[in-house]
Amino acid sequence: MDLFINIVISLGIGIIALFLVRFLAPHSQGWISITGRINRFQFIIGILFLSATMHIFNMFIQQLLEAVIILPAYFGIKALAYAGYIILLPWYYTLYVRRLNDISIPGFPFGILLGMYIIGTNLYIPLKNTYMLHLIATFLIHGALALLPGRKGTNRYGDPSYWPRSTQKK
């Protein structure tokens, strides 16, 4: 039953974050956009920053949960964790969808599922065996996305991203 509740909560967080992406994308100057492509370097920088942020956030939530002595505080901390995941999940969506688009894989369904996987497994952080399995699976997924080369030239998802590049001509 606990697994079913976790799946429902993950889907709820994922759907709310997807609506947040759709609402914020026109106003984000391209930072939170699930259209276009990013190269391997951009993905590596983004995923390192986002993984560190998620790890620090999870450590903060764990410390708060260890200090809980009354039930309302426990539910308040869980609500804080869900709100944090709703804020972080659009960034995961952006990275996964745009990187998969660069590889010429439809990023929208698969990137969203990868983002929901990240949140679904982060809800089970207190279980050490599950956390280690999550870290291994996440490392493999991120490694594959970082190592697979993007398509040269324009594909159906747009032009390739060349950042960083020199804008000065010699």
The pLDDT value recorded for residue 155 is 84
Q: Which two tokens stand for residue 77?
A: 């901390």
Residue 127 has a pLDDT of 59
Q: Maximum Cα–Cα distance for the chain, whole Å?
A: 67
Q: Quick one: pLDDT at residue 168?
A: 44
Contacts for 44 with CB less than 8 Å, ≥ 6 apart: 146
pLDDT of residue 170: 45
Identify the pLDDT of residue 118.
Answer: 79
For the chain, what is the HEC assignment? CHHHHHHHHHHHHHHHHHHHHHHHHHHCCCCCCCCCCCCHHHHHHHHHHHHHHHHHHHHHHHHHHHCCCCHHHHHHHHHHHHHHHHHHHHHHHHHHHHHHHHCCCCHHHHHHHHHHHHHHHHCCCCCHHHHHHHHHHHHHHHHHHHHCCCCCCCECCECCCCCCCCCCCC
List the chain residues with pLDDT less than 70. 1-2, 30, 123-130, 164-170
pLDDT digits (tens, 9 = 90+) for 42-59: 899 999 999 899 889 988
pTM exceeds 0.85 for this model:
no
**What are the residue boundaries of the structural domains of the chain, listed by start?**
2-24+33-147
Pair 165, 56: CB distance under 8 Å: no
With the C-alpha atoms ordered 101, 157, 18, 29, is the resulting torsion angle positive or negative?
positive
